[in-house]
Amino acid sequence: MIKRKVRVKLKLLQDMKEVFKTLSRRRPTKIYCPRCRSPKIHLSSSLDYWLTPKKYVCENCGYTGPIILELEKEA
Ligand SMILES: [Zn+2]
C-alpha cells in the first residue's frame, strides 16, 4: 500500500516537470496596441497602479487601457 502511494507521488512530480518544460518551451509573445496595432505599447507606470492593476499606454496613438493584442512571434 505504502509503495503505491510513493509511486503516485513520483508520477505527479514527473507531470510537474512536463508542465515546466512546456512553459519554458513557449514562444515569446509580442504585444500590440489594439487601436493602431503599434508595438510601441507598454505597461503604465502610474503611481496609482494599485488602484488600477493593469493599464497599458500606447506611445503611438495615446491609447490607455487594460486591453492589448498579444501575438506569438513569427518563427
Ligand atoms: Zn496605439
Local confidence pLDDT in tens for the 75 residues of the chain: 666 677 777 777 777 777 777 766 667 778 999 999 999 999 886 666 566 567 899 999 999 998 999 887 665
Query: Which of 28, 29, 33 lies closest to 71, judged by CA?
Result: 29
Calculate how far, in angstroms, residue 21's C-alpha sits from the geometric centre of ligand 1. 34
Calculate how far, in angstroms, residue 25's C-alpha sits from the geometric centre of ligand 1. 30
Query: Which of 47, 46, 37 lies closest to 67, judged by CA?
Result: 37
The DSSP line for 32-62 is: E-TTT--S-EEE---TTTTTSS--EEETTT-
Number of H helices, E strands in the chain: 1, 5
Calculate how far, in angstroms, residue 30's C-alpha sits from the geometric centre of ligand 1. 14
Chain centroid to CA 9: how far?
A: 29
Indicate whether this model's pTM tops 0.85: no
